[in-house]
Amino acid sequence: MSELRFDALRGEEVVYAIHRQERTFLPSREHCPLCPTHPGGPKTEIPFPAFEIAVFENRFPAFEAPRGAAEVIVYTDSHEGSLGTLSPQRADALMWVWRHRYAELGAREDVRYVLIFENRGVEVGVTLHHPHGQVYGYPFLPPVPQHELRADERLGGCALCSLLAGELDDGRRLVYESQAVAAYVPYAARWAYEAHVVLRTHRASLVECDAGELRSLAAALQALVRGYDALFDTPFPYVMVVHQAPTTSAAGEAAGGGHVHVEFYPPLRAAGKLKYLAGSEQGAGTFIADTVPEESAAALREAIALAA
């Protein structure tokens, strides 16, 4: 069981999940816990010889009922590949799985915020290479979604709608466009190749998206990941998070705000060069970037077109 402590100096929760120290660390391919269980072979987390997408509770959870949730979403039964190399049908199915996990966990009284995310690459601390993502159901509203809700208040409406309009109008940082989705390196990107993938129509969560929008979102995410991999001709590490509206609180109050978007934070600032969070970022909370968003966007746009 993990423990929550409130950091009174920062005004933020800290989660102690000490059992996570024991979790499987970069197992060999034969001992991958996310591969299917083959007859006669070692038992994995998934007791089937084949599967499409698998969801199960994290064995080393940061959160668990009755104080939140932590799940693993395995994208494929194939050990190799990435979000970018899934078939379009599988990527589309993954959006429906995301939608379902958001709806189900979000309906729980002990879940205040559902965060779907993927850590890719050892650079961001990945312990299993098999293509997969995770879902956390936080029993409180974490700081980043809080910031986004405050942005809605400050801008007097949906912040994402207004930022998207600005990016479409400016155009220099756009990297991908389709009928339902646009992707851009944000005006004030923290990471050199940070990208936000945004539904053009205001949708508070994936539950509000229609089938065409989910398909477009999957296609945009795949195009972006393939473009990332093409950028330096190497599997590109990133942290990917899906931001949606907070869900109902334990007090039963209605949740509001949010506009579905997916944020990518890649730690590479150049081929083979990692950005570290150091004095200014950690001590002041101020990012110092050494690249210009317009230039990274131009390079990323080209890479996406090349990889298409």
What is the sign, positive or negative, of the torsion defined by CA atoms of 126, 127, 128, 132? negative
Q: Cα–Cα distance between 21 and 10 in angstroms, integer?
A: 25
Is 132 designated active site?
yes
Distance CA 131, CA 120 (A): 8
**Helix, strand, coil share (%) of the chain residues, nearest 5:** 35, 20, 45
How many CB atoms lie under 10 A from the CB of residue 207? 14
- Interaction of residue 190 with Zn ion, rule CB under 5 A: no
Smallest distance from the beta carbon of 160 to Zn ion, in angstroms?
5
Shortest CB 16 distance to Zn ion, Å: 26
Burial of 271 by CB count in 10 Å (0-12 exposed, 13-18 middle, 19+ buried)? exposed
The site for Zn ion, by CB under 5 A, has a size of: 12
- Tokens for 61? 């959870």
Quick check: 151 binds Zn ion (CB under 5 A)?
A: no
- Decide if residue 200 touches Zn ion (CB under 5 A): no
Residue 220 binding Zn ion, by CB under 5 A: no
- Of the candidates 132, 196, 259, 261, the residue annotated as catalytic is 132
Cβ closest to Zn ion, residue 203 vs residue 230: 203
Map residues 239-278 to x or -, x wherever contact with Zn ion holds by CB under 5 A: ----x---------------x---x---------------
Residue 160 makes contact with Zn ion by CB under 5 A = yes
Q: Which of 15, 32, 114, 209 binds Zn ion (CB under 5 A)?
A: 32
C-alpha–C-alpha distance, residues 146 and 45, integer Å:
34
What tokens does 300 get? 């990323």
Interface segment toward Zn ion; rule CB under 5 A; list 135-143, 153-161, 284-292, 294-302: 153-161
User: What is the set of active-site residues?
Assistant: 132
* Contact residues for Zn ion, defined by CB under 5 A: 32, 34-35, 79, 130, 158, 160-161, 202, 243, 259, 263
